[in-house]
Amino acid sequence: MVRETNRYFKFDWITIILFLLLVGFGWLNIVSASHTGETMNYFDFSQSYGKQLIFIFLTFGLIVILLGIDAKFYERFSSIIYIISMLSLVGLFLFGKNVNGATSWYAFGSFTIQPSEFAKAATALAVAKHISDLNTNINNLKDQIKAFVIIILPALLVLLQNDTGSTVVYGAFFFVLYREGLPKIYLYIGLFIVLISILALKFGAPIIAVVVAIISLTMYFLNKKKNPLLQSLFIILASTALCFGVKFFYESILKPHQQDRISLWLRLEKDPVKLEQMKKTFAYNLNESEKAISSGGFSGKGFMEGTRTTGKFVPEQHTDYIFSTVGEEWGFLGCTFVVVLFVLLLLRILHLAELQKSQFSRVYGYGVASIIFIHFLINIGMVMGLIPTIGIPLPMFSYGGSGLWAFTILIFIFIKLDSNRINEW
Partner 1 sequence: MRQFLLFGSVILVGVLFISRLFYLQIYSSSGHNLFEDNAIRKVYDYPKRGFVYDRNGVLLVSNQPSYDVMVIPREVEPLDTLEFCSLLKIDKEQFIKTFNKARHYSPRLPSVFVSHLSKEDYAVLQEKMRKFEGFYIQKRSLRHYQRSIGANVLGDIGEVNQRTIEKQPYYKMGDLIGKQGIEASYEKTLRGVKGIKFIQKDRFNRNIGPYKDGAFDTIPEQGKDVHITIDAKLQEYGELLMQNKRGGVIAIEPSSGEILAMVAAPTYDPNILVGRERSKNFTKLFNDTIAKPLFNRSLQGVYEPGSPFKLMNALVGLQEGVLTPTDKVTCYAGYRYGNRFMKCHCYIGRRNDMISGIQESCNAYFATAYRKILDKNNNASEGIDRWSNHAKSFGLGNFLNNDLYVGQKGRIPNREYYKHVYPRTFYSTYTISNAIGQGEVATTPIQLANMVAAIGNRGYYYTPHIIKSIEGEGIPKQFTERKYTTIDKEHFEPVIEGMHQVYKRGTAQWLRIKDIDICGKTGTVENFAIIDSVKTQLTDHSIFVAFAPKENPKIAIAVFVENGYWGSRFAGKVASLMIEKHIKGYTTRKDMEDWLLRHTLENEYAKPYSGEPFKINGETAFQLVDDIEYKRLKKHLKQIESQN
Interacting residue ranges for partner 1, rule: CB under 8 A: 38, 175, 178-179, 181, 187, 280, 288, 290, 293-298, 301, 305, 307-308, 310-313, 315, 327, 331-332, 335-336, 339-340, 342-343, 346-347, 350, 354, 366, 369-370, 373, 376-377, 380-381, 384, 386
Smallest separation, CB 351 to partner 1 (Å):
9
Strand partners, 102: 99
Cα-based torsion angle of the residue sequence 145, 150, 152, 156 in order, rounded to the nearest 10 degrees:
140
Q: Between 11 and 174, name the residue whose CB sits nearer to partner 1.
A: 174
- Minimum CB separation of residue 423 from partner 1 in Å reads 24
Rounded to an integer, what distance in angstroms lies between the CA atom of residue 372 and that of residue 374? 6
DSSP-derived letter for residue 171 is G
Q: How far apart are CA 168 and CA 388, in angstroms?
A: 12
202/194 Cα distance (integer angstroms): 12
Of 218 and 336, CB closest to partner 1: 336
To the nearest whole angstrom, how small is the minimum distance from the Cβ of residue 389 to partner 1? 16
| Beta pairing partners, 107 | 112
Q: How far is the CB of 420 from partner 1 (least distance, A)?
A: 21
Q: What angle do CA 322, 325, 331 make, to 5 degrees?
A: 130
> Rounded to the nearest whole angstrom, what is the least distance from the CB of residue 316 to partner 1 in the complex?
12
The smaller minimum CB distance to partner 1, of residues 6 and 41, is found at 41
What is the C-alpha separation between 178 and 140, in angstroms, rounded? Answer: 13
Cα separation, 362 vs 366, whole angstroms: 6
Rank residues 373 and 405 by Cβ distance to partner 1 and give the closer one. 373
CA 213 to chain centre: 35
Residue with Cβ nearer partner 1 (124 or 205): 124
Q: Which amino acid is at 168?
A: V
Residue among 21 and 377 whose Cβ is closer to partner 1 = 377
Query: Residue 383 Cβ, how far from partner 1 at the closest point, in Å?
Result: 10
Alpha-carbon dihedral angle through residues 388, 164, 279, 398, given to the nearest 10 degrees: -90
For 106, the 3-state DSSP assignment is: strand
